[in-house]
Amino acid sequence: MRKHSLLLLFLACLAFPSLVSAQEERTRDSDNWNTNLWVGFYNNFRLSEKFFWRAEMHYRRGDYEGQPFIGKMEQIYNRHAITYLFSPTFNMSFGGVLRLNFTPSPGNDAYKEVMHEPRIWHEYLFVMPFPRFQAYHRIRIEHRWSKSNSYEDDWIFRNRWRYKFYAKFPLNKKTLTPGTIYFNPDVEIILQTGKQVIDSPVEDFRVYPSLAYISSPRVTYSAGLMYATGQNLNDGTVYRQRWVMRVSAYISLDFRKDEKKIHSVRLLD
């Protein structure tokens, strides 16, 4: 019964993006349809009892000239932050991002080959533990300075307001322990503000169901297909849509000294 429920939920999540895309059939022929491949490496290094260093690297490609998902290089992300573990159910992070945007038209001299985009971001994560699964509310706020690869464009500043709800349902075990395959439904809405944002506050809406495997307490892998849609910055009536194939690895290492990690045991008392 449990397995059936989870399967139905998984299928529903997969179906939802399809439904959304059906509504947008009229724009399918436009340039606003894209496919991408996102490969992410998420590192989380424990520095002390309360502080972590988050170091993420994302490698993203996109369709180009008829080749879906991997036709051309699109972005490289370097996201860093210091996380403060306030409690097992709440933490917050603060850090910076350096994004490298590659030219939308490779070989076209009108575009700069690589354009950097700095960001400052902070995040507030609320954890809802349940006996058999975990649910999360994530609020992330980013302050970005961006400029398109076109030489003619200027730098613009925007704020991003992101809210994400996601959960982790173990499939083959009762709890999230090493060896567990879990289902991870994920929904996020990204709003934006700024001088240039006139009629396009909804930058992105993402639905991302994925499957993950906990290899060990320190390594987890996940993969899934994400549907995302959002308003075009210059024309709020135009919705950009994407299918994003995502593959991620989550690494967590403990940089503390050993004696602070291994609890002592008395034997043969």
Query: Residue 132: which of 165, 166, 164, 172 has the closest Cα?
Result: 172
- Minimum distance from residue 80 beta carbon to other proteins (Å): 15
When asked if residue 181 is in the footprint of other proteins (CB under 8 A), the reply is no
Interacting residues of 165 by C-beta distance below 8 A, sequence separation 6+: 135, 136, 137, 138, 186, 187, 188
Site residue total, other proteins (CB under 8 A): 32
Helices (H), ranges, the chain:
2-23
The only residue of 172, 217, 234, 235 in contact with other proteins, by rule CB under 8 A: 217
When asked if residue 28 is in the footprint of other proteins (CB under 8 A), the reply is no
- Minimum distance from residue 38 beta carbon to other proteins (Å): 17
3-state SS class at 195: coil
In degrees and rounded to multiples of 5, residue 48 shows phi and psi of -155, -170
Comparing CB distances to other proteins, the nearer of 24 and 254 is 254
Q: Which stretch binds other proteins (CB under 8 A): 8-16, 24-32, 116-124, 176-184?
A: 176-184
Q: Tokens standing for 25?
A: 């059939």
* Cβ 115 vs Cβ 99: under 8 Å: no
The only residue of 5, 86, 98, 178 in contact with other proteins, by rule CB under 8 A: 178
Mark 43-72 with x for binding to other proteins (rule: CB under 8 A) and - for no binding. -x-x-----x--------------------
Query: Residue 127: which of 94, 162, 86, 161 has the closest Cα?
Result: 86
**Burial of 17 per CB tally in 10 Å (0-12, 13-18, 19+):** buried
When asked if residue 134 is in the footprint of other proteins (CB under 8 A), the reply is yes
Comparing CB distances to other proteins, the nearer of 90 and 157 is 90
- Minimum distance from residue 153 beta carbon to other proteins (Å): 37
Which residues in this chain contact other proteins in the complex, by CB under 8 A? Answer: 42, 44, 46, 52, 83, 85, 88-89, 127, 129, 134, 136, 168, 175-178, 214, 216-218, 220, 250, 252, 254, 261-263, 265-268
